[in-house]
Amino acid sequence: MSKIIEQPRFSCALGAQQTVIAIKRGVPILHSGPGCSNKISSLIGQGEGYAGGNTIPCTNATEADVVFGGERKLKDVINGAFQVIDADLYVVLTGCTSDIVGDDVGSVTSKYQEKDKPIVYVETGGFKSNNYVSHSEVVNAIIDQYVDKFKNNNGVKKGLVNVFATVPYQDPYWSGNLEEIKRVLEGIGLEVNILFGNESNGIEEWKTIPNAEFNIVASSWVGLNIAEHLKDKYKTPYVHFQYLPIGAIATSKFLRQVGEFGHLDKNKVEDFIKKEEEKFYFHIEKTADFMLEFRYGLPRRFYSILDSSYSLGFSKFLLNELGILPGKQFIIDDTPEQYKESIIKEFENISEYRSAEVEFNVDAGAVQLEIEKEKEKDFQEGRALILGSGWDRDLATKLNADLLITSVPVTYRLVLNCGYAGYNGGLRAIEDIYDRVLNTYR
Amino acid sequence: MGTINLKESSVTIRETRLGSITGFNGSAKELVTCAHAGKLKDSSRKFSQCMGCNAGHAFCQLAMIRDAVVVNHAPVGCAGDFFGFNFTYRVEQMKRELPATIGRYFSTCIEEKDTVFGAAKKLEDTVREAYKRTKPNAIFVTTSCASGIIGEDVDAITEDLSKELGIPVISCSCEGFRSKIWTTGFDAAYHSILRKLVKPPRKKNNKVNVANFWGSHIFDEFLNRLGYEAQYIVPFSTVAELEYISEAKATIHVCSSLSTYLGAALEQEYGVKEIKAPPAYGIEGTDIWMREIGKVLDREEEIEKIIKEEHERVLPKLEEYRKKLKGKTAYVTAGAAHGHAIIAMLRELGLNVQGAAIFHHDPLYDNKNKDSDALAQAVNIYGDIKHYNVCNKQAYELVNILNRVRPDLMIARHGGMTMWGAKLGIPTLLIGDEQFGFGYQGVLNYASRIVETIDNKEFVSNLAKHSTMPYTKWWLDQDPFTFLGGNTSVENY
């Protein structure tokens, strides 16, 4: 059976244009068909940001470019972009047309690189992969073609870390998540290159990537390619935390793992954790009576249709901190084979007392049909919680379940700085879940 | 050139069929004169920003046929617009009091190996699975840049699948690179519907096709009064309804950029009369349109009565608004036909339209009738517009112009453009419902929204204070058409 997708929840390789937009004053230059950017923005781009959406320079490939090649046009558009768009970093990304026709984008771009223009290119023809994969490729290309030029001889800076935690915009809560991850890592004494969003110092921060003492990957598999690459290139070691840390248990575990790996002052780490946990559990304790006593129905089992980092992160959080039991979990991020086993293992040990079943399937249309069956089998009477996307509204209604939209497309929510990572994100998740539950009563 | 040929598997693109262009800088009158003389030349740009492609616009018309599904033969990124259209579909279901239904759209997910070995099998599997999952009454297969370049014979594959599944499986050729003019995508969708769904009439009925997007049902009462029934197409139609749009008496356009291919084809093939007057925007424009409706539907007397009634009702109120808006300036950015409509309306209200950045220009539509040219009509009624520019949705040109012109109001028709007005502190209005401004009442509707918008300065002036601008200072000091190059002949494109 071919891989087909009903209800897509990620984009193609060119979707990494959003990775570039998430870099402060970064702008993608697309060498692609005229509609690509728009389609990507409409799935994973709530808000144009600084130079996204309709601002993105693009060669808008025509039939003539497909027949005769589009290199000259690309050169014109790059020239124009330098004149018209006020940015610190320009990243040329190709679409299907250029990659199938075989335009030599490298030779066009390298002319500018030789003149020390801040420009990078990556072949991201849509068919080549998806935006989970190409995110890492774009980051690596920026490191190789731009950051590396600024590598100084200052060597390793003690306490400086690069964080690779989430795919901007594909994770709709990337901005809030990164803000919180930076906050907690600073809390245990690190200096953090968060690289994307408002908390980052933009391209100047990127230039210090080679000086990091170590790298942190907080994600199931995305970002491991970057960390491996940096290990080869600059001998920077990395620590891998396998999911998005949501709530106190996971975040404390994350911080302890990082602290141990980086030989940080143990007292400082523990002091910070203690302070944060006190705050966190103050609120949990305050509302425990609600969770135990609310007699009109709270969700007792959850199903998720998420990428692996969110899936693991939320599953552990909901079970261990809120006592909501896992139904079957569905992972839709086209997880590469080599990472599946360790993810399954994490689900097998989801808590001290139980394991959870997980299935990998990119075709969320098929997944919905399965969840209907699962619910039937598992838990006929109880109220369910679904963690999914805007596509899952009818499913939730049909199963009489509560829906928290935590994956793209998020259209039914407006996201500013909301995040679910860390201690603060955990509290936010609890508020959001029970807010939706309570809202169902007349 | 120019004739509609439903035997061809792909629609001929607008550049070739109509001589449409995407770049022009001059006055509206110059544009119209050139276009009617068949002397229009396109200009290309040395710098450009992303636009839209015809695949998205074909999908826009196919995605809301209530019992059909769409298979997009493409890499998964091309399916990025699925959810947006599904959202619209569901919002409009609410307005129409229909049960909540999700749009059923499938991607074949073309991958690297498929570009080498072909993706025919994948397409077949996807269509079969879509059929199995949804049991639709028709399946549309939309193509992409990738499927086009690797040379898939989608037409032949869909023919075979039609036989196998016993329902129409219809190819719609809308590769993104095919046309610079994304409205070609509308033509592509209609072409596939006309080719494979629409049947010759059994007998004529008293319906009037209203070709629209998904706007409000403003024609029901009006057509009932004339003894006809409105039939809104294509979104929210069923396959069975579309099969017999050939039986209708006439076709009304709400937006000529959208549906003139469909209108001309229905007249050519089945004698369904196309209303050739430009859609009814502005008082005089509405008078002209009404009289044509009267003629085509054979209701001239009744129409004169309505015109009289409406003038009596609307004109005094209009005068009030004109007083309020006197001396105000406006700038317009929109798609072609709707842009012309907004221009007419603003000038009806007495605003000074300082200029317009319109996405493309069709010299004449498929009916080849000069009376259908809404811009020509607007120039005749209200006079020339000095700064009329065909901008292909290039935001950088718009920002440059707005920064100089600083009108009291900007009106946009498409998303992604309003922000630039607001960031400069200019009150900006976007109307989503294409029928909001239609007819006599439409002028009042617009007037009241414009008054409200111009009055509401708080948000935009605060936003302007705190906004960044991704354009260089150098650029804002240049002539806005610096990158608009020499005249490229349309034929050579």
Closest Cα in chain B, distance from residue A172 (Å): 15
Residue A151: both structure tokens together:
């590598």
Please tell me the distance from the alpha carbon of residue A350 to that of residue A347, in angstroms, as a whole number.
5
Residue-wise DSSP of A345-361: HHHHTSSSS----EEE-
* Residue A1 confidence (pLDDT): 54
| Chain A residues within an 8 Å CB radius of B55 | 35
Written as one letter, the residue type at B152 is E
Closest of A281, A353, A269, A293 to residue A321, by C-alpha: A281
Please tell me the distance from the alpha carbon of residue B213 to that of residue B360, in angstroms, as a whole number.
19
**What's the N-to-C CA distance of chain B in angstroms?**
15
Closest of A264, A261, A172 to residue A217, by C-alpha: A261
| Chain A residues within an 8 Å CB radius of B493 | 62, 64
- The whole model's pTM is what? 0.96
Residue A145: both structure tokens together:
């073609």
Closest Cα in chain B, distance from residue A232 (Å): 27
Q: Do A4 and B125 touch (CB under 8 A)?
A: yes
Q: Render pLDDT for B236-281 as a digit per residue (tens, 0 to 9).
A: 999 999 999 999 999 999 999 999 999 999 999 999 999 999 999 9
Q: Which residues lie across from B220 on neighbouring strands?
A: none
Residues constituting chain A: 442
Fold of A157-269: Rossmann fold (3.40.50)
Please tell me the distance from the alpha carbon of residue B365 to that of residue B18, in angstroms, as a whole number.
7
Q: Are B381 and B403 in contact (CB under 8 A)?
A: no
| Chain B residues within an 8 Å CB radius of A85 | 470-472
Q: Are B106 and B69 in contact (CB under 8 A)?
A: yes
Nearest 5 degrees, angle CA B90-CA B95-CA B99?
55
Tell me which residue in A15, A56, A79 faces B77 most closely, judged by beta carbons.
Answer: A15
Helix crossing, A422-438 with A174-187: angle to 10°? 140
Cβ neighbourhood burial of B162 (10 Å; 0-12, 13-18, 19+): middle
Closest Cα in chain B, distance from residue A98 (Å): 10
* Residue B313 confidence (pLDDT): 97
Q: Which pLDDT band, with edges at 50, 70 and 90, does A244 fall under?
A: very high
Q: Do B180 and A51 touch (CB under 8 A)?
A: no
Residue A77: both structure tokens together:
């558009």
| B3 pLDDT higher than 90 | no
| B136 pLDDT higher than 80 | yes
On whether any CB of chain A is under 8 Å from the CB of B80, the answer is yes
Mean pLDDT, rounded, of chain B: 94
Closest Cα in chain B, distance from residue A39 (Å): 5
Specify the CATH number for B54-179; select among 3.40.50.1980, 1.10.3720.10, 3.30.360.10, 3.40.50.300. Answer: 3.40.50.1980
Which of B:367-406 have CB within 8 Å of A? 393, 395-396
Any alpha helices (H) in A117-265, and if so which ranges?
Answer: 131-145, 174-187, 202-206, 224-234, 247-261
Q: In what order do the strands lie in the sheet with A26-31?
A: A26-31, A89-94, A119-122
The stretch A96-124 carries a mean pLDDT of 97
On whether any CB of chain A is under 8 Å from the CB of B52, the answer is yes
Report the share of chain B in percent with pLDDT over 70: 98
Q: Which residues lie across from B142 on neighbouring strands?
A: B72, B172
Residue B91: both structure tokens together:
């919002």
* Residue B5 confidence (pLDDT): 94
Q: Are B308 and B333 in contact (CB under 8 A)?
A: no
| A379 pLDDT higher than 70 | no
Instruction: Answer yes or no: CATH 3.10.450.40 is held by domain A296-411.
Output: no
In degrees rounded to 5, what are phi and psi of residue B427? -55, 135
Please tell me the distance from the alpha carbon of residue A36 to that of residue B358, in angstroms, as a whole number.
21
DSSP assigned state of A127: G
| Chain B residues within an 8 Å CB radius of A55 | 49, 395-396, 470
3-state secondary structure chain A: CCCCEECCCCCEHHHHHHHHHCCCCEEEEEECCCCHHHHHHHHHCCCCCCCCHHHCEECCCCHHHHHHCCHHHHHHHHHHHHHHECCCEEEEEECHHHHHHCCCHHHHHHHHHHCCCCEEEECCCHHHCEHHHHHHHHHHHHHHHCHHHHCCCCCCEEEEEEEECCCECCECCHHHHHHHHHHHHHHCCCEEECCCCCCCCHHHHHCCHHHEEEEEEECCCCCHHHHHHHHHHHCCCEEEECCCCEHHHHHHHHHHHHHHHCCCCHHHHHHHHHHHHHHHHHHHHHHHHHHHHCCCCCCCEEEEEECHHHHHHHHHHHHHHHCCEEEEEEECCCCCHHHHHHHHHHHHCCCCCCCCCEEECCCHHHHHHHHHHHHHHHCCCCCEEEEECHHHHHHHHHHCCEEEECCCCCCCCCCCCCCCCHHHHHHHHHHHHHHHHHCCCC
Please tell me the distance from the alpha carbon of residue B365 to that of residue A336, in angstroms, as a whole number.
51
Please tell me the distance from the alpha carbon of residue B67 to that of residue A307, in angstroms, as a whole number.
31
| Chain B residues within an 8 Å CB radius of A1 | 125, 129
Q: Are B436 and B411 in contact (CB under 8 A)?
A: no
Give me the residue label for tokens 């046009």. A73
The stretch A116-126 carries a mean pLDDT of 97
The stretch B20-44 carries a mean pLDDT of 93
Q: Which pLDDT band, with edges at 50, 70 and 90, does A2 fall under?
A: low
* Residue B164 confidence (pLDDT): 98
Nearest 5 degrees, angle CA B183-CA B257-CA B235?
80
CATH 3.40.50.1980, chain B: domain bounds: 54-179
Q: Do A3 and B468 touch (CB under 8 A)?
A: no
CATH class of A13-150: alpha beta
Please tell me the distance from the alpha carbon of residue B11 to that of residue A182, in angstroms, as a whole number.
54
| Chain B residues within an 8 Å CB radius of A48 | 416, 419
Please tell me the distance from the alpha carbon of residue A92 to that of residue A102, in angstroms, as a whole number.
15
Closest Cα in chain B, distance from residue A237 (Å): 33
* Residue A380 confidence (pLDDT): 63
The stretch A349-353 carries a mean pLDDT of 92
Closest of B276, B251, B279 to residue B343, by C-alpha: B279
Q: Are B266 and B209 in contact (CB under 8 A)?
A: yes
The stretch B354-366 carries a mean pLDDT of 95
* Residue B487 confidence (pLDDT): 45
* Residue A49 confidence (pLDDT): 82
CA B266 → CA A367, B209, B213, B247, distances in Å? 42, 10, 18, 10
| B490 pLDDT higher than 60 | no
CA nearest to A30 within chain B: B50
CA B168 to chain centre: 26
CA atoms within 13 A on the CB side of A227: 22
In chain A, where the domains are located: 13-150, 157-269, 296-411
The stretch B72-99 carries a mean pLDDT of 96
Domain A13-150 and domain A296-411 have a common topology: yes
Please tell me the distance from the alpha carbon of residue B430 to that of residue B346, in angstroms, as a whole number.
14
Q: Render pLDDT for B345-356 as a digit per residue (tens, 0 to 9).
A: 999 999 999 999
Specify the CATH number for B313-492; select among 3.40.190.10, 3.40.50.12380, 3.30.450.20, 3.40.50.10260. Answer: 3.40.50.12380
* Residue B431 confidence (pLDDT): 81
| B489 pLDDT higher than 70 | no
| Chain B residues within an 8 Å CB radius of A53 | 416
Q: Is the confidence metric ipTM above 0.90 for this complex?
A: yes
Q: Which pLDDT band, with edges at 50, 70 and 90, does B453 fall under?
A: very high
Residue from B116, B177, B491 whose CB has the most chain A CBs within 10 Å, to mutate: B177
| A112 pLDDT higher than 80 | yes
Q: Do A130 and B76 touch (CB under 8 A)?
A: yes
Q: Do A34 and B78 touch (CB under 8 A)?
A: no
Q: Are A250 and A321 in contact (CB under 8 A)?
A: no
Which of B:182-241 have CB within 8 Å of A? 182
On whether any CB of chain A is under 8 Å from the CB of B83, the answer is yes
Residues constituting chain B: 493
Tell me which residue in B133, B145, B396 faces A97 most closely, judged by beta carbons.
Answer: B145
Report the share of chain A in percent with pLDDT over 90: 90
Q: Do B83 and A43 touch (CB under 8 A)?
A: yes
Q: Render pLDDT for A127-185 as a digit per residue (tens, 0 to 9).
A: 999 999 999 999 999 999 999 999 888 889 999 999 999 999 999 999 999 999 999 99
| Chain B residues within an 8 Å CB radius of A43 | 80-84
| Chain A residues within an 8 Å CB radius of B402 | none
Please tell me the distance from the alpha carbon of residue B63 to that of residue B57, in angstroms, as a whole number.
10
Q: Do B146 and A53 touch (CB under 8 A)?
A: no
| B492 pLDDT higher than 50 | no
Q: Which pLDDT band, with edges at 50, 70 and 90, does A294 fall under?
A: confident
| Chain A residues within an 8 Å CB radius of B70 | none
Burial A239-278 (b: 16+ CB within 10 A, else e): bbbbbbbbbbbbbbebbbbbbebbebeeeebeebbeebbe
On whether any CB of chain A is under 8 Å from the CB of B352, the answer is no
Which of B:124-163 have CB within 8 Å of A? 125-126, 129-130, 133, 144-146, 149-150
| Chain A residues within an 8 Å CB radius of B416 | 48, 53-54
* Residue A284 confidence (pLDDT): 94
In degrees rounded to 5, what are phi and psi of residue B217? -85, 70
Helix, strand or coil, per DSSP, at residue B410: strand
Strand bridging mode B105-107 / A5-6: antiparallel
CA nearest to B129 within chain A: A4
